[in-house]
């Protein structure tokens, strides 16, 4: 049993290896048979895996973002406008929750934040009410479907057409839809048209599909089918909230197609 040794019989070679690594050294000479050999176990591999974990996690996150939101990028107009819309929605919720004498109902809150109201535009020349409704949403369901669709299609279209052109078409579509709503509903209630620019994105993406129909190959039918489902889901939110302007949806698409 004299040839059996524990780990205490194999101390690290501190002279030649100050990093704490261990390497097995063997000697086949007959004089060293039965004597303990120095044992060194390398800890290099765990250090490499720890260094690689953060980069792998970042790559995995980027892959997931690109899968759901093609051409995703933090430094884009699409991402910036989405953050602004979220901040404005949170601000309207805070004001509505206060319910003081200045805020009142949800409709009053939307009016104070620049909702579309034709008499105010005609009498008081509140032309900013043709632009600000782009940043307003009627509720959680409304903002969820709008921003989800905006992120799904916005990054790819912005990458293809360029930021300046995409941003210009985004606001042209939104203002065009709100302007049509004011013309067709001169005495209507306070309304918001955040989906105006969104349906403009649909129209732009439709033109993109028509332009690259042959290049898309077999997946084009799936893309068009999914787009139809998303449009139906967004139209369903019109009846869910009284302040959502249905006419503006059509105006947005028409203005963007033009």
Write out pLDDT tens, residues 31-52: 555 555 444 444 444 454 455 5
pLDDT, position 75: 94
DSSP notation for 48-117: HHHHHHHHHHHHHHHHHHHHHSTT--SSSHHHHHHHHHHHHHHHHHHHHHH--TTT-SHHHHHHHTT-B-
pLDDT, position 106: 86
pLDDT, position 255: 47
What CA–CA distance (Å, rounded) separates 141 from 193? 15
* Within a domain: 107: yes
* Within a domain: 151: yes
The pair of three-digit structure tokens given for residue 254, joined into one six-digit string: 């028409």
Mean of per-residue pLDDT scores for the chain: 76
* Within a domain: 167: yes
pLDDT tens digit sequence for 184-200: 777 767 888 777 788 88
pLDDT, position 53: 65
* Within a domain: 199: yes
Rounded percentage of the chain residues whose pLDDT exceeds 90: 28
pLDDT, position 52: 52
Weakly modelled stretches of the chain, pLDDT under 70: 1-54, 57, 99-104, 188, 238-258
pLDDT, position 113: 94
* Within a domain: 217: yes
Q: How many domains, the chain?
A: 1
How many beta carbons lie within 10 A of that of residue 95, not counting itself? 19
pLDDT, position 149: 87
The CATH number for 97's domain is: 1.20.1540.10
What CA–CA distance (Å, rounded) separates 79 from 87? 13
* Within a domain: 175: yes
What CA–CA distance (Å, rounded) separates 86 from 235? 20
Q: Residue 245 belongs to what domain range?
A: 73-257
């Amino acid at each position: 049993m004299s040839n059996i040794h524990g780990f205490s019989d194999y101390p690290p070679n501190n002279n030649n290896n100050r990093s704490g690594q261990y390497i097995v050294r063997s000697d086949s000479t007959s004089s060293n048979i039965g004597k303990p050999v120095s044992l060194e176990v390398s800890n290099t591999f765990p250090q490499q895996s720890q260094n690689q974990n953060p980069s792998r996690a970042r790559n995995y996150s980027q892959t997931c973002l690109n899968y759901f939101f093609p051409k995703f990028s933090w430094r884009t107009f699409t991402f910036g406008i989405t953050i602004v819309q979220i901040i404005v929605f949170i601000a309207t919720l805070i004001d509505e929750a206060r319910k003081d004498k200045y805020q009142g109902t949800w409709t009053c809150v939307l009016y104070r934040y620049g909702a579309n109201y034709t008499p105010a535009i005609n009498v008081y020349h509140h032309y900013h009410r043709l632009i600000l409704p782009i940043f307003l949403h009627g509720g959680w369901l409304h903002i969820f479907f709008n921003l989800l669709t905006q992120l799904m299609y916005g990054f790819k279209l912005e990458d293809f057409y360029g930021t300046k052109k995409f941003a210009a078409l985004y606001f042209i579509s939104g203002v065009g839809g709100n302007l049509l709503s004011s013309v067709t509903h001169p005495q209507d209630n306070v309304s918001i048209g955040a989906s105006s620019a969104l349906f403009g994105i649909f129209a732009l993406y439709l033109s993109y599909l028509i332009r690259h129909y042959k290049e898309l190959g077999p997946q084009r039918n799936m893309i068009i089918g999914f787009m139809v489902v998303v449009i139906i889901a967004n139209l369903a939110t019109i009846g869910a909230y009284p302040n959502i302007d249905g006419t503006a949806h059509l105006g947005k698409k028409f203005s963007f197609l033009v």
